[in-house]
Amino acid sequence: MAKTDFGPPDFREMIPPVIKENYGNWKYHTVPRPGVLKHVSHTGAVMHSVRVASPRLVSSDFIRNISDIAEKYCDGFLRFTTRNNVEFLVSDESQLQPLIAELDEKNYLIGGVGLSISNVVHTQGWIHCKSAVTDASGITKGIMDDMADYFTGKIKVPARLRIAVACCVNMCGACHCSDISIVGIHRTIPIINHELASKICEVPTTVASCPTGAIRPNPKEKSILINGEKCMMCGNCTAVCPAIKIMDPVNDGVSIWVGGKVSNARTAPMFSRLAIPFISNNPPRWPEVTDAVKHLVEVWAANARDGERMGEWIGRIGWEKFFKITDLPFTDKHIDDFTHATTTFRSTTQFKF
């Protein structure tokens, strides 16, 4: 039997000597050009990191290619970022320009550092998930084709902008705290296969799974019943009972949320809030979604002050003005009716007309 419980490879065996020698002793960093970080230690030691875009879903070819490049210029040392970029860790400064030249030649996009739009954090989608309402990889590709100049630093933005895509409301990744997030949603109540349910449904678990108490037992059919008026189409019941189906290709689609952040810089972390309640799935490129994202980015970039994240900008101008200048309709769908709804109702006469 194979050994167990030995844990991941120790990262300390996979960091370059310059990191070992300067671990915890870095003094500052600069961004000498878009996509390149220069870290300087208290000892004067220097390391450059060159960041390139990755589609996240990659092949063995991709893995071997980046490994070969890392071996050629970085003594084999590289890492990934929390936003799925690849970083080549350059200890020998004379290797920096040759590395960049080879990356350019091979069409890797260098960027995603500082005042830019970095890679999208996204979920699995139709490629490999049972609960995907949409395909995150396709939407991401569509969005980032539009945003490539923001990634590479050709177009500047007032502050960082983080985009996330989640294929369903499970929101793997920090979608609910992103500057712009795209979330797959259902709009129709689940359908129960009673015959199958009578054989495999764990009724008490399924009843308990519903956050709104919309599910009750159906003893007559040894199944369950869903109260459509209470159901909010979260899909949690479908995760516990395979006899319940919620996928509806005609009515499923995505929603767009704005203004979230996780950083504590200046302002506290914020949730993303609903901007656009629904856009139909339109593969392969989801043009209505990518246009909406482009529009949101452009309006923010044109109006925000330097250093103002999307949510900080909206916080300053107010949501009423946000809807006005983005020309997005505010509807009944924008008013919260779940757990924390009342905390979102305005209790001041301070507002703009």
Task: Restricting to residues 276-315, name those near another protein by CB under 8 A.
Answer: 281, 283-285, 306-307
For residues 96 to 115, the per-residue mask of contacts with another protein, x marking binding by CB under 8 A and - elsewhere, is: ------------xx------
3-state SS, 166-183, equals: ECCCCCCCCHHHCCEEEE
User: Does 127 participate in binding another protein (rule CB under 8 A)?
Assistant: yes
At 51 the three-state DSSP class reads: strand
Please answer whether residues 37 and 113 qualify as being in contact, where contact means their C-beta atoms are separated by less than 8 angstroms. Answer: yes
User: Does 11 participate in binding another protein (rule CB under 8 A)?
Assistant: yes
Q: Of 320, 321, 269, 326, which Cα lies nearest the Cα of 296?
A: 326
Contact region for another protein (CB under 8 A) — 7-15, 186-194, 216-224, 294-302? 7-15
Q: Are strands 180-185 and 253-258 parallel, antiparallel or unpaired?
A: antiparallel
Q: Which of residues 12-31 bind another protein (CB under 8 A)?
A: 12, 14-15, 19, 23-24, 26-30
Q: Which of residues 172-191 bind another protein (CB under 8 A)?
A: 172-177
- Give least dist CB 279 to another protein, A: 13
Q: Which of residues 191-250 bind another protein (CB under 8 A)?
A: 205, 208-209, 211, 234-236, 238-240, 242, 247, 249-250
Q: Of 211 and 324, which CB lies nearer to another protein in the complex structure? A: 211
Contact region for another protein (CB under 8 A) — 134-142, 218-226, 313-321, 344-352? 134-142
Contact region for another protein (CB under 8 A) — 217-225, 267-275, 292-300, 314-322? 267-275
Q: Of 94, 101, 26, which Cα lies nearest the Cα of 69?
A: 101
Long-range pairs of 77-80 with CB within 8 A, sequence gap ≥ 24 = 77/14, 77/15, 77/16, 80/54
At 146 the three-state DSSP class reads: helix
Q: Of 223 and 238, which CB lies nearer to another protein in the complex structure? A: 238
> Taking the CB of residue 220, how many other CB atoms lie within 10 A of it?
8
Contact region for another protein (CB under 8 A) — 92-100, 119-127, 216-224, 318-326? 119-127
How far is it, in rounded angstroms, from Cα 312 to Cα 326?
16
